[in-house]
Structure 1
Amino acid sequence: MTSNNLKIAFLGIGLMGAPMTRNLLEAGFSMTLWNRTASKCEAFASDATIAGTPAEAVAEADIVITMLENGQVVDDVLVKQGAMAAVKPGALVIDMSSVQPSLAREHAELAAEQGAGYVDAPVSGGTVGAVEARLSIMAGGSEADIERALPVFNALGKCTRIGPVGAGQLAKLANQAIVGITIGAVSEALLLAAKGGADPAAVREALMGGFAGSRILELHGQRMIDRDFAPGAPARIQLKDMRMILDEARAENLTLPLAQQVHNEYLALVANGHSDVDHSGLLLELEHLNGSLMGSLGRGPKH
């Protein structure tokens, strides 16, 4: 791979951040890493610099990337822990976390005060997309700032400029509304079919060829059939996203009944102790509600 002289600070080496970091290193970028749990950086110790604080990590960086769990954590790292104040003039801050559009705009203003650029660039594609460098990147910011970010984005997936700062986060909310609601629909459809005596695996196969076919039915439908709920995207994150969708809807004087219902289902799933199952594990809440497991041919779980 060709070397790149851009220095990147990457804050947040978690489920998504770790494979993204690996792809950026393989693309030849010089990287400094920071994570709240420092041990998660250890796998990269021979290839990147490990910083003790967010401010230390960003001090020499041309590009600062945050990939953190929610807006509160992003704000804590950038503002309270002093990372934004340590960003050098001319640098570019790229928040690839999913945060409130209003928070993205606030952080853009803080970056501008430092003489730095800002792009909100949340992603879709989950851990599989992160590993395979096939993330869908939804970018909000000026055309010039997004142009500057393209060498980074191209190492991670495909970028689409949505509009000005905050627009990337709006696109992510739209994405998460469709994902959450569709997971609910697939859960109900497969449970309905299985309870009536159909094989849910055969139902999924048949539906994949028709109008109901979707990436959610393909991947998460299979997860439900296999009862494989190891987290790619944890349920607590989907709940956080559904909450942000409803907050944004209220701010825009919109009523979104489907989003509200799915939010309530994820809230119950998390309350019942499943915060760290994959978001496709919404099936578990539906089964709990009905007192019935999907299993195979409606006869309970396979052994």
Structure 2
Amino acid sequence: MKKLGFIGTGIMGKPMAKNLIDAGYPLVVYDINHKALEEMVDYNAKSASSCKEVASQSDIIITMLPNSPEVEKAVLGKDGVIEGVKRSQTLIDMSSIAPLVSQKVAKELEKKGVDMLDAPVSGGQEKAQSGTLAIMVGGKEEVFKQCKAILEAMGKPILVGDIGAGQITKLVNQTIVAINIAAVAEALILGKKAGVNPQRIFEAIKGGLAGSQCLTDKGPRMFQGRFNPGFRIGLHVKDLNNVLATSRELHTAMPLCAQVMEMMQTLMAEGHTDLDHGSLALFYEKLNGISLKEE
């Protein structure tokens, strides 16, 4: 069985790594958070002191990090993955980062004879825990086939194209999610303002064309005022920054995405950076002077 390395055991990475251990894979892990490392060691992982050490002890290295700079540092920086790799290894980056950075990292690893997949995920903490994440993969088909069983221990992987295609697909996903959550909050506020119980509206429409995973997951959170992450506003803003930067490079107009980005920026300015992105409801509640929370 392949020896796996896992770098980044935060809110998403920790349950993903645990699912790999549950599937029987030997795992060596690294995180700058020592407490997170200790928890993984208690779960039968082996700890490493650097990204370089993870790479030197693994056949396949997985990274799950916050953003492009962290991935570049972990892979290409001092004591990074690239200093510990050997020819014929594979890096699977499951972080959500800029597509151009994925392509840059892949080119540098290729010089060492190392393959790479970019494989960002969607589904949040709950699906990371249940091993049912949507996994959007870019890279060579033969490398994808070699790694498919590993990815299936964490969710449902789909190959969407060459390196960078996984990240583009994730940007599309994050755009749709952001706009969808905003639409759910906006519409439910209208219903409540008109005097109709929003929970009854939710029950009436969730099985129709307006139904979506966003409505199903975030509607109940809005009714309960329960905005613990989940998926943090601050991370979604990071993703939308990558969306809008990419759209500018491609001269693609994205007015709805830009509008929701401003809503999220407002929430961050009000101190809500670490709340779930379902807290977009708070933006509408403040704007309209009404709460969706059940009375």
Q: TM-score, normalised by structure 1?
A: 0.94
Counterpart amino acid of residue 183 in structure 2: A
1:199 aligned onto 2:213: no
For 2:62, what is the secondary structure of its paired residue? strand
Q: Give the alignment partner of residue 119 of structure 1, picking from 100, 117, 120.
A: 117
Structure 1 residue 190 displacement after superposition: 0.9
**8 A contact 1:184–1:283 mirrored in 2:** yes
- Amino acid in structure 1 at the alignment position of 2:228: A
1:139 corresponds in structure 2 to 137
The CA distance in 1 between the partners of 2:232 and 2:178, in whole Å, is 12
| SS of 1:93 mapped into structure 2 | strand
8 A contact 1:6–1:63 mirrored in 2: yes
Per the alignment, do residues 154 and 295 of structure 1 end up closer, same or farther by CA in structure 2, a change over 3 Å counting? closer
Alpha-carbon offset, residue 78 of structure 1:
1.3
Paired residue secondary structure (2:170): helix
Name the structure 2 match of 1:16: 12
Residue type of the alignment partner of 2:113? G
Aligned equivalents of 2:137 and 2:48: distance in 1? 27
Deviation by residue 1:132-186 (Cα, 9 ceiling, x = unmatched): 1111110000001111111211111111100000000011011001000000000
Q: 2:30 matched to which residue of 1?
A: 34
Moved over 6 A (4+): none
Question: Which residue number in structure 2 is paired with residue 299 of structure 1?
Answer: none
RMSD of aligned C-alpha atoms?
1.1
- The Cα shift of 1:84 comes to 1.9
Kindly provide the amino acid, as one letter, of the partner of residue 70 in structure 1: N
Counterpart-to-counterpart distance in 1, 2:154 and 2:167: 18
Does residue 213 (structure 1) correspond to residue 211 (structure 2)? The answer is: yes
Residue type at the aligned position of 2:15: P
Match of residue 73 from structure 1? 70
Q: Paired residue for 1:283, among 281, 284, 289?
A: 281
| Identity over aligned pairs, percent | 37
CA distance in 2, matches of 1:204, 1:143: 42
Could you tell me how far apart the structure 1 residues matched to 2:73 and 2:191 are? 46
Deviation of 1:110 (Å): 1.1
Is the 2:90–2:114 contact (alpha carbons within 8 Å) kept by the matching residues of 1? yes
Shift of 1:281: 0.5
**Matched residues in 2 for 1:241 and 1:17: separation?**
17
Amino acid at match of 2:289: G
Query: Partners of 1:294 and 1:131 in 2: how far apart?
Result: 28
Counterpart check, 1:130 vs 2:133: no
Question: Matches of residues 224-235 of structure 1 in structure 2 within 5 Å?
Answer: 224-235=222-233
Residue 111 of structure 1: how far off its partner (Å) = 1.0
Q: CA deviation at 1:209?
A: 2.1
Tell me the residue number matched to 2:258: 260
Letter in 1 for 2:198: P
CA contact (8 A) 1:233 1:278 kept: yes
How far is 1:255 from its partner? 0.9
Question: 2:118 aligned with 1:151, yes or no?
Answer: no
Question: Partner amino acid for 2:94?
Answer: M
Unaligned runs of 5+ in 2: none
SS at match of 1:45: helix
User: Alignment partner of 1:52: what SS?
Assistant: coil
AA matched with 1:99: I
- Kept in 1, the 8 Å contact 2:28–2:57? The answer is no
TM-score of the superposed pair, with normalisation by structure 2: 0.97
Distance 2:111 2:224 in 1: 51
CA distance, structure 2, for counterparts of residue 243 and residue 207 of structure 1 = 32
Q: CA deviation at 1:125?
A: 1.2
Does 1:52 find its partner at 2:49?
A: yes
2:184 counterpart SS class: helix
Q: 1:98·1:122 contact (CA, 8 Å) conserved in 2?
A: yes
Partner Cα separation in structure 2 for residue 186 and residue 87 of structure 1: 46
Give the corresponding residue for 2:21: 25
CA distance in 1, matches of 2:97, 2:82: 16
CA distance in 2, matches of 1:138, 1:162: 7
Q: Does the 8 A contact of 2:5 with 2:60 survive in 1?
A: yes
Aligned positions, number: 293
Offset of residue 56 of structure 1 = 1.2
- Give the whole-Å Cα distance in 1 for the aligned partners of 2:292 and 2:221: 12
Letter in structure 2 aligned against 1:60: Q
Tell me how far 1:195 sits from its aligned partner.
1.6
- Counterpart residue number, 2:85: 87
